[in-house]
């Protein structure tokens, strides 16, 4: 088991997804939000949450840190990484949308129970550091999201470098590195299958 500390997530990190959310991807510096460590779950089920009628999937590569610090250089970033997993940043999109409109924080939309299903963590010593390769999500066998890790606006190393200027990173921290285009709503009974070439797969049943 990987001992979790904090969960950081980057917003709008693939240009096509930023555009589908109504933003210009070229002008924005990176920004981050957090989920709670116990929002990460590995049991393959996602309970449809309360108070939302529009819950979206977002397939993302998760990066697990085994070292940290402040002001980590891009060159040193990879030495902090323990491994990688396929994860979902499940989102109560209607509540996130209301928060955005009112200039309020995103927690009610993003940081709810079991909002971050994750697959097994694969150590970098076994799989290396995936920086290109297809990232995709199928909903009930139909392809919904497709992209490539190389399309990240801010690379994994740049994300670690930037985060470490704002926060002291430490072993156990996890970074969800953003989602490609094609996000959409789930219903109870859906089967979500996420894949990242060179990392692995995740299967999650919406219950
Ligand atoms: Mn996301």
* 13 inside domain: yes
Q: Cα of 182 to ligand 1 centre, how many Å? A: 12
pLDDT at 23: 87
Q: Are 49 and 187 in contact (CB under 8 A)?
A: no
pLDDT tens per residue across span 2-35: 999 999 999 999 999 889 998 887 767 899 999 9
Span 120-134, average pLDDT:
98
CA Rg value for the chain: 16
Three-state secondary-structure class, residue 123: strand
Q: Cα of 68 to ligand 1 centre, how many Å? A: 22
Q: Cα of 27 to ligand 1 centre, how many Å? A: 19
* 1 inside domain: no
- Report strand pairing: 59-65 vs 91-92: unpaired
pLDDT at 36: 98
CATH of residue 162's domain is 3.90.850.10
Q: How many residues does the chain have?
A: 207
Q: Cα of 37 to ligand 1 centre, how many Å? A: 15
* C-alpha span between 90 and 83 (Å, rounded): 21
Q: Cα of 113 to ligand 1 centre, how many Å? A: 16
pLDDT tens per residue across span 42-61: 999 999 999 999 999 999 99
* 113 inside domain: yes
CA 207 vs CA 52, 174, 200, 201: distances in Å: 14, 25, 23, 19
* 29 inside domain: yes
* 32 inside domain: yes
Q: Cα of 58 to ligand 1 centre, how many Å? A: 6
Q: Cα of 145 to ligand 1 centre, how many Å? A: 13
Q: Cα of 166 to ligand 1 centre, how many Å? A: 19
Q: Is residue 85's pLDDT more than 90?
A: yes
* C-alpha span between 181 and 14 (Å, rounded): 7
Q: Is residue 159's pLDDT more than 90?
A: yes
* 2 inside domain: no
Q: Residue 125 is inside which H or E element, if any?
A: helix 124-127
Domain span holding position 152 = 7-206
- What is the total count of domains within the chain? 1
Q: Cα of 178 to ligand 1 centre, how many Å? A: 5
């Amino acid at each position: 088991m990987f001992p979790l500390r904090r969960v950081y997530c980057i917003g709008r990190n693939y240009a096509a997804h930023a555009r589908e959310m109504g933003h210009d991807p070229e002008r924005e510096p990176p920004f981050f939000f957090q989920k709670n460590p116990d929002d990460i779950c590995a049991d393959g089920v996602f309970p449809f949450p309360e108070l939302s009628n529009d819950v979206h999937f977002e397939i993302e590569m998760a990066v697990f840190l085994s070292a940290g610090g402040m002001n980590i250089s891009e060159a040193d970033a990879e030495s902090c990484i323990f491994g990688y997993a396929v994860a979902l940043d499940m989102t109560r999109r209607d509540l996130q949308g209301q928060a955005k409109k009112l200039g309020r924080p995103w927690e009610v939309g993003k940081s709810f129970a079991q909002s971050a299903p994750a697959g097994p963590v694969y150590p970098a010593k076994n799989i290396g550091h995936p920086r290109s390769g297809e990232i995709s999500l199928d909903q009930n066998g139909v392809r919904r999201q497709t992209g490539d890790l190389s399309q990240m606006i801010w690379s994994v190393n740049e994300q670690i470098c930037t985060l470490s200027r704002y926060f002291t990173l430490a072993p156990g921290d996890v970074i969800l590195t953003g989602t490609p285009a094609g996000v959409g709503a789930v219903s109870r009974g859906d089967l979500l299958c996420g894949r990242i070439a060179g990392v692995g797969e995740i299967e999650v049943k919406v219950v």
